[in-house]
């Protein structure tokens, strides 16, 4: 009873905010060290980039398998486990490469462990916030997802500052520092109240029941297009920054992704603040239109700087699409439970991997023109808008 008096659902939401910051560290810290790993351990860059593939590939697998696992052990135990895995991965990152015969295997094992934490967090934090007894759930969900953006910006800026002050060769100390945050949040999750998405007298929908519902497939389409619309530009943001600002690659690698994440986080935070005044579906539809406009600006502008501005505009436009789809799903399929959120996360991650690939393939077919590839990828926000209209007619 003491914990219930001390901690409220506001603390639960705060813990989830920090959880998304942890996931941002999981996805964005190690790529800053790729050149360091190459120089220190003599690992070819082709092998090092496999770390990204394993990270996101394992997170996809967790998305697919986690629903039954999470429901068995409960949200609290799963959230604590996720943070412990994230912290353990960062800790092992500083130890295993020097202890293994092949440093790459050590790096890979560490990445796989924290990827389990990242995958669980992606599935967990949204339904935990959705289950909290808040009045404006769409706003809370949008604000929640903005913290991934702030985490992305924070880990890159703080890591870059650390490397500048203390030298990148001391990266292991920073990795240990990043491990502290998930450990502290794991302790926090042992104390905060956690509600269930499904009432005590209700039973969650099965996979067969979900698959038989038209709205489920429309929501899966929305989530896939949301991920694709976001990453088709985000993954090329550094290149667009180099072209638009005329800067060297190192600066472009910072300016492009950070401006995209900053504007995306701003969009989510604004809806989190004022979302109760704007119907979610209308805001998502307007965001889809703005997203198409940003794609056209990137693809067709004769001025490279405007193309870079289109990249930032795209970040702002896609901000609501991912969390908004979660909110729509929860409102329209109230007994979807953890399974629904896990499948939506899977669809979103498939879109995140497929969007940049589609843009790249189209660019190659157009003679290496990145603008043409981005133009072709405009089908994703277009399909998203079609899905929104279908969902509205079916409701």
Locate tokens 């929305």: which residue? 222
- Confidence check: pLDDT of 200 > 70: no
pLDDT at residue 243, as a whole number: 67
SS3 content of the chain, % helix, strand, coil (to 5): 85, 0, 15
CB contact at 8 A, 227 and 350: yes
Report the mean per-residue pLDDT for the chain. Answer: 88
pLDDT tens, 341-389?
999 999 998 898 888 888 888 988 888 788 888 899 999 999 999 999 9
- Confidence check: pLDDT of 138 > 70: yes
Q: Which residues contact 304 (CB under 8 A, 6 or more apart)?
A: 243, 244, 246
The CATH number given to 206-395 is: 1.20.1250.20
pLDDT tens, 82-120?
999 999 999 999 999 999 989 999 999 999 999 999 999
pLDDT band of 244, cuts 50, 70, 90:
low
pLDDT band of 245, cuts 50, 70, 90:
low
Q: What are φ and ψ of residue 193, in 5° steps?
A: -75, 140
- Confidence check: pLDDT of 176 > 80: yes
Please name which of 9, 73, 118 lies closest in space to residue 338, comparing C-alpha atoms: 73
Cα angle: 199, vertex 205, 207; to 5 degrees? 150
Residue 331 CA, chain-centre distance (Å), reads 21
pLDDT tens, 13-25?
999 999 999 999 9
Helix (H) / strand (E) element for 213: namely none
Same fold, 1-196 and 206-395: yes
How far is 386 from 15, CA to CA, in rounded Å?
Answer: 35
Report, as an integer, the average pLDDT of 63-69.
82
Number of Cβ within a 10 Å radius of residue 53: 11
Q: Residue 164 burial (CB < 10 Å; 0-12/13-18/19+)?
A: exposed
- Confidence check: pLDDT of 301 > 90: no
More confident residue, 208 or 179: 179
1-196 folds as: Growth Hormone; Chain: A; (1.20.1250)
How far is 284 from 277, CA to CA, in rounded Å?
Answer: 14
* Per-position DSSP letters for 127-165, written without gaps between them: HHHHHS--S-HHHHHHHHHHHHHHHHHHHHHHHHHHHHH
How is residue 366 written in tokens? 């157009």
* Per-position DSSP letters for 312-332, written without gaps between them: HHHHHHHTTHHHHHHHHHHHH
How far is 176 from 276, CA to CA, in rounded Å?
Answer: 40
Report, as an integer, the average pLDDT of 42-68.
84
Q: Which percentage of the chain shows pLDDT scores above 70?
A: 95
Report, as an integer, the average pLDDT of 239-247.
69
CB contact at 8 A, 99 and 156: no
Give the SS3 label for residue 364.
helix
pLDDT at residue 136, as a whole number: 78
CB contact at 8 A, 348 and 227: yes
Helix (H) / strand (E) element for 194: namely none
Locate tokens 């999470």: which residue? 70
Report, as an integer, the average pLDDT of 143-172.
93
- Confidence check: pLDDT of 130 > 70: yes
How far is 116 from 333, CA to CA, in rounded Å?
Answer: 27
Report, as an integer, the average pLDDT of 275-291.
91
Go through 308-319 and write b for each residue having 16 or more CB atoms within 10 A of its CB, e for each that does not. Answer: bbbbbbbbbbbb
Q: What are φ and ψ of residue 53, in 5° steps?
A: -60, -45
Go through 61-73 and write b for each residue having 16 or more CB atoms within 10 A of its CB, e for each that does not. Answer: ebbeebbeebbee
Per domain, the residue ranges of the chain are 1-196, 206-395
Least confident piece of the model among 38-47, 103-112, 282-291? 38-47
pLDDT band of 290, cuts 50, 70, 90:
very high
pLDDT at residue 129, as a whole number: 92
CB contact at 8 A, 131 and 74: no
Report, as an integer, the average pLDDT of 252-278.
86
Give the SS3 label for residue 114.
helix
């Amino acid at each position: 009873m003491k914990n219930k008096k001390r901690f409220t659902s506001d603390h639960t939401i705060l813990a989830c905010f920090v959880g998304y910051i942890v996931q941002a560290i999981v996805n964005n810290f190690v790529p800053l060290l790729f050149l360091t790993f190459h120089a220190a351990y003599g690992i070819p860059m082709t092998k090092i980039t496999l770390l990204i593939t394993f990270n996101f590939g394992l997170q996809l697998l967790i998305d697919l398998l986690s629903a039954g696992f999470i429901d068995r052990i409960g949200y609290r135990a799963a959230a604590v486990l996720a943070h412990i895995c994230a912290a353990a991965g960062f800790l092992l990152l500083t130890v295993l490469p020097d202890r293994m015969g092949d440093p790459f295997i050590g790096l890979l094992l560490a990445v796989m462990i924290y990827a389990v934490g990242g995958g669980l967090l992606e599935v967990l934090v949204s339904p935990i916030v959705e289950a909290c007894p808040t009045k404006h759930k769409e706003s809370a969900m949008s604000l929640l997802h903005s913290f991934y953006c702030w985490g992305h910006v924070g880990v890159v800026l703080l890591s870059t500052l650390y490397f500048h002050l203390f030298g990148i060769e001391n990266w292991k100390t920073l990795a240990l520092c990043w491990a502290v945050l998930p450990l502290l949040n794991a302790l926090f999750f042992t104390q905060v109240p956690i509600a269930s998405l499904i009432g005590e007298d209700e039973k969650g929908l099965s996979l067969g029941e979900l698959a038989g519902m038209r709205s489920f497939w429309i929501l899966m389409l929305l989530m896939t297009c949301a991920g694709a619309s976001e990453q088709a530009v985000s993954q090329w943001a550094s290149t667009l920054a180099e072209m638009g600002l005329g800067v060297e690659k190192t600066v472009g690698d910072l300016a492009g992704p950070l401006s995209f994440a900053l504007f995306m986080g701003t969009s989510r935070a604004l809806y989190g603040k004022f979302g109760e005044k704007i119907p979610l579906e209308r805001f998502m539809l307007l965001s889809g239109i703005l997203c198409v406009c940003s794609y056209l600006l990137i693809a067709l502008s004769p001025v490279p700087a405007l193309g870079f501005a289109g990249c930032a505009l795209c970040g702002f436009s896609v901000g609501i699409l991912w969390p908004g789809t979660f909110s729509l799903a929860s409102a329209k399929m109230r007994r979807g439970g953890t399974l629904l959120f896990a499948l939506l996360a899977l669809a979103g991650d498939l879109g995140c991997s497929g969007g940049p690939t589609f843009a790249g393939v189209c660019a190659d077919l157009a003679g290496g023109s990145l603008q043409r590839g981005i133009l072709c990828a405009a089908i994703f926000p277009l399909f998203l808008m079609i899905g929104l209209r279908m969902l509205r007619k079916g409701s």
